[in-house]
Amino acid sequence: MIKNAAFRFVLVIGIVSLFADFAYEGARSITGPYLAALGASGTIVGIVAGFGELMGYALRIVSGRLAERTGKFWTITLIGYFIQMTAVPLLALAGSWQVAALLIVAERIGKATRNPPRDVMLSHASKEIGYGLGFGIHEALDQFGALVGPLAVAAVLAHQGSYRTAFAVLLIPALLTLALILVARWLYPKPEGLEPQALNIHSDHLHKVFWIYLAGAALVAASFPDFSLMAFHFEKMQTVPTTWIPVFYSIAMGTGGLGSLIYGRLFDKKGIRILIPLTLVTIASVPLAFMGGFWLALAGCVLWGLGMGVHESIIPAAVAGIAPIERRASAYGIFTAGYGISWFIGSAIIGVLYDISITWLVIFSVAMACAAIPCFMILTKAKR
C-alpha cells in the first residue's frame, strides 16, 4: 500500500532528523556562551547567529532551484547532511570566535543545501497521509532530537565543564545521522513514487496566497531572537546557571516537538488561521526571557520553543499545499530564503538593541509579530 510506504518514509526521515538535531541543536544550545568565552560581544553573537540563519535560509533558493532543474534530490540532500554533520564536531577545535563563527555558518549552509530537496521528498509522502500530519510527525521526531541533544550537552558540561568536550561528544550523533541517511537513500531511491497523482496540476507561477503567507512568516521571523542571544543574556545577567542553559533549550525544543503533532492535525482541519492565536501567544516569550528571572526565563523559553515548533511544522505543510508540484522545490527555496533574510535582519537589529536597551528590544519584537497578524487574517479569507 502506498499510504503505508509513505508513512514509513516519513518515519525514516524523521529518525534521520532526530539524530541530526541531536548533533546540531546540541551544539546551538551553547554557541552563544561559547562565542562569549572566545571573546565575542552581544552584537557579534546576534550578527553571527543572524548571518548563520541568513545563509541557512537564503541559499535554499539555490539548492531548491538546482534540485528542481536536475532532479538530483537525494544527491543534494546527502551533500547537505555531510557539510552540516562535519561542521558540528569541528567546533571543538575552534581557537577563536572567528573560526567558531565560520563553522556555525557552515553548519547552516549544510542545512540550507539539504532542506528543500528533502522537504520535497517528504511532501510526496505527506500527500497520502495529510500534509499537516506528515510534517508534524517529522517535526516531532526532529524536535525530540533537539530536546535530547542539549540535555546531553548539559550532562557533559556538568561532568567536564568544557565546551570543547561537549562539541566533541556530538561527533557520535553526527556519524549516526550520516549512516542513517544513506540507509534511507537505499530503502527509498524514488520517493516521488509515493505521490502517484502528483503531476495533475501544471503551473509556471506561484499563487498570490504564497506571497502573502511569505510576508506574514517573514515578519514573525524578524520578531524572534535567536536562542544564542538569549543564552548570552542568561550568562551575562546570571539569571540562569551555565549548566542549565542547554536544559532550557532542550525544554524549548521538547515543547515545540510535542506541539508539532497537534499543530499538524489542526492545520489539516482548520487551515492557516490557527497561526493568528499562536503568534499572539508565543511573542510573549521575548519579554519573559529578557526581562525576567529564572522562572520567567524558563516560561519564555517554553513559549519560544512553541513558536519555533509552530512555524517549523506548518510552514512546509502550507507551502506543499499552495505550490504546484513542478515548482515545489523552488517554492521551498524562495519561501525559506525570505524567511531567513528576515530572521537575519531581525536578529541583527535585536543584537544591536540588546547592547542599547532591552526595553527597545522587546518593543521591536512585539511590533514585528503583531504586524504579521493582518497577513494571516487575509489568508483565512483567501480561496486557494
What is the tens place of the pLDDT at every residue in 14-31? 999 999 999 998 998 888
Percentage above 70 pLDDT, the chain: 96
Q: Looking at the predicted structure, is the pLDDT value of residue 83 above 50?
A: yes
What is the reported pLDDT for 204? 57
- pTM for this structure? 0.79
Residue 198 is assigned to a structural domain of this protein: no
Single out the residue of 57, 55, 343, 378 nearest to residue 218, CA to CA: 343
Q: What is the CATH number of the domain that holds 133?
A: 1.20.1250.20
Q: Max Cα separation, the chain?
A: 59
Domain holding 363, by residue range, is 2-186+203-381
Residue 195 is assigned to a structural domain of this protein: no
Q: Which residue has the higher pLDDT, 363 or 6?
A: 363
Percentage above 90 pLDDT, the chain: 35
What number of other Cβ atoms are within 10 A of residue 294's Cβ?
A: 13
Single out the residue of 384, 378, 224, 372 nearest to residue 319, CA to CA: 384
What is the reported pLDDT for 382? 64
Residue 197 is assigned to a structural domain of this protein: no
**Residues contacting residue 5 through CB under 8 Å, at least 6 positions apart:** 125, 194
pLDDT, average across residues 101-111? 94
pLDDT tier for residue 343 given thresholds of 50, 70 and 90: confident
What is the reported pLDDT for 197? 57
DSSP tag of 226: P
Residue 90 is assigned to a structural domain of this protein: yes
pLDDT, average across residues 209-216? 88
Count of domains forming the chain = 1
What is the reported pLDDT for 77? 96
Residue 121 is assigned to a structural domain of this protein: yes
What is the reported pLDDT for 113? 94
Q: Looking at the predicted structure, is the pLDDT value of residue 286 above 60?
A: yes
Q: Over the stretch 50-81, which tens digit does the pLDDT of each residue have?
A: 788 778 877 888 998 899 889 899 999 999 99
What number of other Cβ atoms are within 10 A of residue 238's Cβ?
A: 9
* 139-148 exposure pattern, b = at least 16 Cβ within 10 A, e = fewer: bbbbbbbbbb
pLDDT, average across residues 128-153? 85
What is the reported pLDDT for 345? 86
Asked if residue 65 lies in contact with residue 330, where contact means CB atoms within 8 angstroms, the answer is yes
Q: Over the stretch 157-202, which tens digit does the pLDDT of each residue have?
A: 888 778 999 999 999 999 999 999 999 999 998 888 777 654 444 5
CA 266 – CA 288 distance, rounded (Å): 27
Count of residues in the chain: 384
What is the reported pLDDT for 166? 93
What is the reported pLDDT for 186? 94
What is the reported pLDDT for 360? 94
What is the reported pLDDT for 139? 83
Residue 77 is assigned to a structural domain of this protein: yes
Residue 192 is assigned to a structural domain of this protein: no
pLDDT, average across residues 75-95? 95
CA 241 – CA 239 distance, rounded (Å): 7
Q: How far is CA 136 from CA 57, 158, 265, 311, in A?
A: 20, 33, 8, 11
3-class state of residue 172 by DSSP: helix
What is the reported pLDDT for 198? 47
Residue 232 is assigned to a structural domain of this protein: yes
